[in-house]
């Protein structure tokens, strides 16, 4: 398949792995920001091709994983109302809240629907004028333009039974929070290519300069990731800290300006709480005043709801690259995809789900033993 097969070609993969081995003279810890990259790394065993001195840690770029428990609880509360049709992408349904998940609401008879675009939810609202239709607007900068389009369209056509439950987060403030933490061990980043396709790369330049950390904008296929790692390690070895673009086939320095304009038109930057991490200043998007009639939290009077996270789930440490999934005591035992304790075990981009799906049990067991030594 075009744009897939050539980026998975085995001989080139091994050539890049060899180039990384030649380039590496010291230990380096590199974080891939996006959960899609994590899944590629674990699925294709790319980390196993790297020299021992290169450690990959998994970042916070799984939007489902970082959605805080109280937002799941708010979604559950709204979806449980008899006059509501609650629309969401599929992988939010099994994420546990402090009590129930959206899937449990659906099983109890709630009208919870999986949609593939926020515009599908707009259509559902047009077709069901007697119901309140709510879309769970989760995601990074990648999904924000489509959600902004849905809200702008709802306003344009005067759709008063449509609203969105906003859980938008932004990548650069999360990278700054990781780098500012006293526990930080990340020395270089593979930034998420699809986020940069929307936002461009300029907002990473001050981060690279201030924290002296190379940031390589990287795609999602095995060759993308190995080339991104090669560029990152080469910078580290040469003492450089720059923004480089591995994913040039999709990313321009200025990004997608019309999409950015749409985001700015509908959303404003707000402080946002991240699951397992806490509040990060100016790290999310909320609706602008001109669009606040479409804010489901306000419409349903849920703005002040708070909830406790599972004390057993260490997803905050996993999402900041401090621990790996197999270092969680509940991994594969008390936390499985069927009975998850945390979102990273059920999201299609979650690091715990990647380890559970692609690493054999025995392998994970020996990794656990290695971590305990
Ligand atoms: S294995 Fe489960 S409990 Fe542990 S960090 Fe991952 S999601 Fe949380």
Max CA separation in the chain (angstroms): 66
Separation of 279 CA from ligand 1 center, angstroms? 20
pLDDT in tens, 244-294: 999 999 999 999 999 999 999 999 999 999 987 889 999 999 999 999 999
Scanning the chain, the segments in alpha helix (DSSP H) are 10-23, 35-43, 63-66, 69-79, 102-107, 118-127, 144-156, 171-180, 193-199, 205-211, 222-238, 257-266, 296-299, 315-319, 351-358, 361-372
Separation of 275 CA from ligand 1 center, angstroms? 12
Q: In what order do the strands lie in the sheet with 84-88?
A: 112-114, 84-88, 132-139, 162-169, 278-287, 267-274
pTM: predicted TM-score of the whole model, two decimal places: 0.90
Q: Nearest-CA neighbor of 221 among 51, 369, 36?
A: 36
* Average pLDDT score, the chain: 92
Separation of 351 CA from ligand 1 center, angstroms? 9
What is the per-residue pLDDT for 311?
A: 82
Name the closest-CA residue to atom 1, ligand 1.
331
Q: Which atom belonging to ligand 1 lies closest to the Cα atom of 344? A: 7
Mutation choice for ligand 1 from 66, 328, 337, 348, CB with most ligand atoms inside 8 A: 328
Count Cβ neighbours within 10 Å for each residue of 91-116 and write b for 16 or more, e otherwise: bbbbbbbeebbbbbbbeeebbbbebe
Rounded distance, CA 321 to CA 178, Å? 8
- Give the residues across from 279 on adjacent strands: 273
Q: Which atom belonging to ligand 1 lies closest to the Cα atom of 323? A: 5
What is the per-residue pLDDT for 371?
A: 47
- DSSP-based three-state secondary structure for 233: helix
**195-204, 271-280, 363-372: which is most confident:** 195-204
Separation of 56 CA from ligand 1 center, angstroms? 18
pLDDT in tens, 220-238: 999 999 999 999 999 999 9
Mutation choice for ligand 1 from 67, 94, 312, 315, CB with most ligand atoms inside 8 A: 315
Any idea which of 19-23, 143-147, 275-279, 303-307 has the lowest mean pLDDT?
A: 303-307
Q: Nearest-CA neighbor of 318 among 350, 358, 365, 282?
A: 350
Are the C-beta atoms of residues 181 and 320 closer than 8 Å to each other?
A: yes
- DSSP-based three-state secondary structure for 349: coil
Name the closest-CA residue to atom 7, ligand 1.
342
Residue 370 has pLDDT above 60, yes or no: no
Q: Is 313 in the pocket of ligand 1 (CB under 6 A)?
A: yes
Rounded distance, CA 282 to CA 175, Å? 12
- Give the residues across from 28 on adjacent strands: 54
Separation of 344 CA from ligand 1 center, angstroms? 6
Q: Is 331 in the pocket of ligand 1 (CB under 6 A)?
A: yes
């Amino acid at each position: 398949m075009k744009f897939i097969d050539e980026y998975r070609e085995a001989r080139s993969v091994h050539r890049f792995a060899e180039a990384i081995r030649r380039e590496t003279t010291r230990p380096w810890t590199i974080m891939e920001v996006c959960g899609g990259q994590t899944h590629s790394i674990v699925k294709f065993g790319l980390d196993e091709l790297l020299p021992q001195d290169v450690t990959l840690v998994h970042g916070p770029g799984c939007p489902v994983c970082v959605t805080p428990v109280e937002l799941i609880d708010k979604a559950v509360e709204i979806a449980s109302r008899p006059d509501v049709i609650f629309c969401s992408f599929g992988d939010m349904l099994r994420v546990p809240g402090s009590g129930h998940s959206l899937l449990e609401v659906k099983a109890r008879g709630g009208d919870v629907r999986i949609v593939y675009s926020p515009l599908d939810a707009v259509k559902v609202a047009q077709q069901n004028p007697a119901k309140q239709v709510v879309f769970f607007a989760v995601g990074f900068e990648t999904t924000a333009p489509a959600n902004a389009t849905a809200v702008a369209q709802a306003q344009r056509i005067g759709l008063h039974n449509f609203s969105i439950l906003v859980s938008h987060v932004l990548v650069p403030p999360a990278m700054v929070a990781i780098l500012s933490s006293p526990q930080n061990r990340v020395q270089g980043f593979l930034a998420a290519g699809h986020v940069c396709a929307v936002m461009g790369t300029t907002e990473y330049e001050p981060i690279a300069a201030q924290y002296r950390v190379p940031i390589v904008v990287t795609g999602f296929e095995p060759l993308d990731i190995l080339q991104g790692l090669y560029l990152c390690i080469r910078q580290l070895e040469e003492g450089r800290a720059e923004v480089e673009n591995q994913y040039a086939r999709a990313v321009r320095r200025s990004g997608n300006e019309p999409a950015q304009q749409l985001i700015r038109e509908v959303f404003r930057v707000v402080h946002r709480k991240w699951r397992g991490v806490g509040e990060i200043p100016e790290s999310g998007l909320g609706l602008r005043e001109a669009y606040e009639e479409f804010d489901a939290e306000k419409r349903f009077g849920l703005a002040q709801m708070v909830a406790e996270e599972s004390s057993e789930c260490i997803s905050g440490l996993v999402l900041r690259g401090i621990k790996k999934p197999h270092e969680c005591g509940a991994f594969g035992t008390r936390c499985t995809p069927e009975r998850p304790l945390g979102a990273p075990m059920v999201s299609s981009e979650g690091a715990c789900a990647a380890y559970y799906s692609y690493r054999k049990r025995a392998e994970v067991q020996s990794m656990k033993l290695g971590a305990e030594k």
